[in-house]
Amino acid sequence: MTELVIDAINLTRNFGSLAAVSSLNLQVEKQTIYGFLGPNGSGKTTAIRLFTGLLKPSSGTVNVLGCNLPKDTEKLRRQIGYMTQKFSLYDDLTIKENMQFIARVYGLTPKEQKVRLDELTSIYQLEKLTNQIAGSLSGGQKQRLALSCAVMHKPKLLFLDEPTSAVDPENRREFWEQLFDLCDQGVTILVSTHYMDEAERCHKLSILENGIKRADDSPANLMASMPANVIELSTDNLRQLKQQLISLPEVVSASQLGAHLRVLVNKTIADPMEFLTNTNIMPSKTEMRIVRPSLEDVFVLSTGHNRLSSTNINKDK
């Protein structure tokens, strides 16, 4: 069996009467990139804070890198890296000063500091910026600095809380390449996001909503086992058709994408195209085809009022 880096059982954290994380069971295997996908307020950050020992669980147990939290929090802190959602390095220090600060905090000797700083500035393309004040950096540069500081002490486990929210697509691609490099070197990465394309890159994924885990598998499996078929249709008067379609109980969701309407039909319907044609609301010249589900479809089906569970394939009103 593969080694578990994070093992959470029935993990719950309440803030007053609100359950930010509720009965979370989560297993993260070594050397994988594990994604947390969920809307704002779904408990992603709280879950990460529970795994890093920043918050104490209200109930349940969590074991990270063999450390039982919250007892072994201090021991754990030497082995993990954490990149916060908001830039949390010092805006009034230069890149080099920030990196030196982190290096000293992790107890690197002056000789080690120099070697590691050279190494990191070259990996994360910060050589030319070393004397620039962190507050004046662009979103992408700040993020590379934050990542280089998070991996300063070569952690075995890296937590990234919405790392790319202030970064353009080009830098995001680059960033993910760097994450895969780290993963290749044996680092386990837990990353939270609300971008579908990022979530799709993860080895494994949890969809969180209101502190509850709605789905948990690899992106491919999630899409394959989705309890609905996806029909893409194009015709005139899409807005009106959409309204009519979503009033049907078998139609889970319909959303417009440019000149197309993407309709999710419950898998209980064996032939969705025939079903739609027989509803008598389709305009005469409608083009229809079955398409491959996307992660966004999975997300839509797993959360909110459209939620369908794989076992209970009735529409969840």
Partner 1 sequence: MKSLLRIQAIIVKELIQLKRDRMTFGMVIMIPLVQLLLFAFAINTNIRHIPVGIFDQSNTALSRVLEQTVAATSIVKFTQNYNSLPQAQAAIDRGDVRAVFIIPNDLSQRLVRHSTIGFGLPAASDEETSRPIAQWLVDGSDMAIAGSIKSLRNMPLAELLNKPANRNVPTFEVTLLYNPEQRSVVNIVPGLVGVILTMTMIMFTSAAIVRERERGNMELLITTPLASIELMIGKIFPYIFIGVIQVTIILGLGYFFFNVPMNGGLWQLALATLLFIFASLVLGLVISTLATNQLQSMQMTIFILLPSILLSGFMFPYEGMPEIAQYIAEALPATHFIRLIRGVVLRDVDVVDMSFDMFWLIAFSLIGLIVAAMRFKKTLD
Map residue 97 onto helix, strand or coil.
Answer: helix
Cβ proximity of 181 and 30 under 8 Å: no
Please report how close the Cβ of residue 213 comes to partner 1 at its closest, in angstroms: 22
258 binds partner 1 (CB under 8 A): no
Strand 59-64 relative to strand 212-217: parallel, antiparallel, unpaired? unpaired
Number of residues binding to partner 1, judged by CB under 8 A = 33
Please report how close the Cβ of residue 212 comes to partner 1 at its closest, in angstroms: 22
CA-only gyration radius of the chain, Å: 23
91 binds partner 1 (CB under 8 A): yes
Cβ proximity of 227 and 310 under 8 Å: yes
Map residue 112 onto helix, strand or coil.
Answer: helix
19 binds partner 1 (CB under 8 A): no
148 binds partner 1 (CB under 8 A): no
Q: Kindly write out the interface string for residues 59-78 of this chain, putting x where it contacts partner 1 by CB under 8 A and - elsewhere.
A: -----------x--xx--xx
**Cα 51 from Cα 79, distance rounded (Å):** 12
Q: Which of 90, 115, 243, 277 binds partner 1 (CB under 8 A)?
A: 90
Q: Which of 49, 201, 242, 262 binds partner 1 (CB under 8 A)?
A: 49
157 binds partner 1 (CB under 8 A): no
How distant is the alpha carbon of residue 287 from its chain centre? 35
Q: Which of 4, 19, 93, 269 binds partner 1 (CB under 8 A)?
A: 93
195 binds partner 1 (CB under 8 A): no
Please report how close the Cβ of residue 268 comes to partner 1 at its closest, in angstroms: 45
Please report how close the Cβ of residue 136 comes to partner 1 at its closest, in angstroms: 12
- For the CA atoms of 118, 121, 122, 123, what is the dihedral angle to 10 degrees? 120
Q: Which of 82, 124, 176, 275 binds partner 1 (CB under 8 A)?
A: 82
Q: Which residue's CB is nearer to partner 1, number 107 or number 258?
A: 107
5 binds partner 1 (CB under 8 A): no
Residue 16 gets the label, from left (phi > 0), alpha (psi -120 to 50) or beta, of left
Map residue 271 onto helix, strand or coil.
Answer: coil
54 binds partner 1 (CB under 8 A): yes
Q: Which residue's CB is nearer to partner 1, number 100 or number 266?
A: 100
Residue 167 gets the label, from left (phi > 0), alpha (psi -120 to 50) or beta, of beta
Q: Which of residues 100-119 bind partner 1 (CB under 8 A)?
A: 100-109
**Cα 225 from Cα 248, distance rounded (Å):** 23
Q: Which of 80, 95, 134, 179 binds partner 1 (CB under 8 A)?
A: 80
**Cα 37 from Cα 55, distance rounded (Å):** 20
Query: For residue 234, what is the enclosing H or E element?
Result: strand 228-234
Cβ proximity of 157 and 65 under 8 Å: yes
Q: Which of 88, 256, 268, 277 binds partner 1 (CB under 8 A)?
A: 88
Residue 125 gets the label, from left (phi > 0), alpha (psi -120 to 50) or beta, of left
Please report how close the Cβ of residue 65 comes to partner 1 at its closest, in angstroms: 14
Return residues touching partner 1 (CB under 8 A).
49, 52-56, 70, 73-74, 77-78, 80, 82, 84, 86-93, 97, 100-109
